[in-house]
Amino acid sequence: MSQALKILLVEDSEGDFFLVHEYLKEVYDNVEIEHCWRLLEAKKSLSTTQFDIILLDLTLPDSNGKESIIEIMDLLQGAPLIVLTGYADKNFAVDTMQLGVQDYLIKDDVTPSILFKSISYSIERNKIYQLFLSTEKKFRSIVENSSDGYALIDLDGRVRELSPYGKLKINLNLMNEEGFFKVGSIHPDHRESALATFYEVSKHHGEIRSVELKYRVDENDYHWIESTIYNLLNEPSVGAIVLNYRDINLRKLEEEQRYALIEELMQSNADLKQFGFITSHNLRAPLTNLLSIVDLLDMNKIKDDSTKELLGAFKNATFQLNDTLNDLIKVLFIRENRFIALSQIDFETVASKNIHSLNALINSSDIKIDFDFSEAPTVLFDSNYLESILLNLMSNSIKFASPDRRLNIKMKSRKEGDFIILEFSDNGIGMDMERVKDRIFGLYQRFHDRPDSKGIGLYLIHSQVTALGGKIRVTSKVNEGTTFYITFKQG
């Protein structure tokens, strides 16, 4: 069974009440009718009960005409109101409708069907009206409480409405004393483009444009604002250009600082490149001369021991300088060549080539080398880099082998999703990772007192791997050995 229609009938005439009551019973199967003789009674009922519709006679013992409508309107709780009256005054009817009345019925003209139609239409119109009020209330709440600012601007530049919270939050008043948009407060550098954007939007209904500009917030201070301009001139409920604006001053300051920092870093990088170029190239010629002089020295012809010692130190210093310069050139080459054409490289081919180049050292030291590249036989990388990486790893393993056991080097590759992982391990003297972990791939970092340790091998490996988008990590234990995990990015 459907829910009963609850009607409040406010009528002081017993005959009119009886007639309307019978009409309602005739057209509705399920209806609850509450009758009030006076307006005061009706107001008490409305304060405690929610009705679906109210039928109000305008001639009551305690109220008359528009006053009855005005007094009862705030108590309706969203229910529609229909006026029942004996006055056939069109102007009066229009006035009552403007007060929010849904319909105006002349008692002498009322029939069951007219009453049914009026109640049905009034309830449906009221539902739409209440939905509109709810939507408008939500929208207005959003506008008034948003940290953004909103303004409705007519085509001639008059500000029709300005959100108070947005104005307060942004400290921005768009209106001058005459109520027009304050064009003069736009920064001179942005004024022409901002006005051009506004006029361009105003030409086309539904057009939306965004613009960033500086706007004066007080006598000597401009702030960056971002504004979105909507053309809703043809929307009946709006009929204006909608301006949505927000303060982006902090963001702009951060951008300026970031751009300044980027410029500074780019300049520093360029200076470093220039310094590296000068160092590597301008030192090469005099160093080559020194190496030639060292080669020409015949130490056997020098009889004075003190002179021999000095020349020996000079010779060693020259060779060390040459090694340092060569290391610097390698580093610069890696830094300058980050966009290298990659190709599929066979792990076993590169490993075998390095083993062959170290063959004499491997055989003399009785070193065992095992490798298994079956899971991932090839890798997308640069062949020269991969050869250098494996050569440095193998050289380091041999250099830091344990005197207590035979050196065993193991290499294994595997696939992990879109990556290839290479594990390179040995059973050498290892490292104390707690002590060296933050410096492991640093330039000229030495962790063992070996005369042939220069501290550049791991730095070069790390540079070559990361230059092509890869990663490298290491685990190690003293007197047990070291394992490197190199991740190669594929594609």
Look at residue 484 in the predicted model and tell me its pLDDT: 93
Q: Cα–chain-centroid distance for residue 173?
A: 30
Q: How many CB atoms lie within 10 A of CB 324?
A: 15
- 478, 381 Cβ separation under 8 angstroms: no
Contacts of 224 (CB under 8 A, 6+ apart): 212, 213, 214, 247, 248, 249, 251, 252
The CA distance from 288 to 456, in Å, is 22
Look at residue 450 in the predicted model and tell me its pLDDT: 54
Look at residue 473 in the predicted model and tell me its pLDDT: 92
**Closest to 164 (Cα-Cα) out of 175, 179, 150, 178:** 150
What are the structural domains, with CATH classification, of the chain? Answer: 5-142 (3.40.50.2300), 147-247 (3.30.450.20), 254-322 (no CATH), 343-489 (3.30.565.10)
Look at residue 326 in the predicted model and tell me its pLDDT: 65
Per-residue pLDDT of the chain (491 residues; tens, 9 = 90+): 468 889 999 888 888 899 989 888 888 888 899 999 998 998 899 888 889 999 988 888 888 878 888 888 888 888 888 888 877 666 776 777 777 888 888 888 889 888 889 888 888 888 877 776 676 666 666 556 666 788 888 988 888 877 776 666 556 677 787 888 888 888 999 999 998 999 999 888 888 999 999 888 877 788 898 889 999 888 887 888 988 888 888 888 888 888 888 888 777 666 666 666 666 666 666 767 777 777 777 777 777 778 877 877 777 777 666 766 666 666 666 555 555 678 899 999 999 988 888 887 787 778 899 999 999 999 998 888 898 889 889 988 888 889 889 999 999 999 998 899 999 999 999 888 888 777 777 665 555 555 555 557 788 888 888 888 889 999 999 989 999 999 998 86
Alpha carbon dihedral 110, 115, 121, 122, in 10-degree steps, equals 90
Look at residue 324 in the predicted model and tell me its pLDDT: 66
Q: Across the chain, which distance is largest between two alpha carbons, in Å?
A: 148
Look at residue 61 in the predicted model and tell me its pLDDT: 86
- Secondary structure (H, E, C), 436-464: HCCCCCCCCCCCCCCCCCCCCHHHHHHHH
Residue 166, phi-psi category: left (phi > 0), alpha (psi -120 to 50), beta (remainder): alpha
Chain position carrying tokens 């709810």 = 134
Cut 0.85: pTM above it: no
Look at residue 413 in the predicted model and tell me its pLDDT: 94
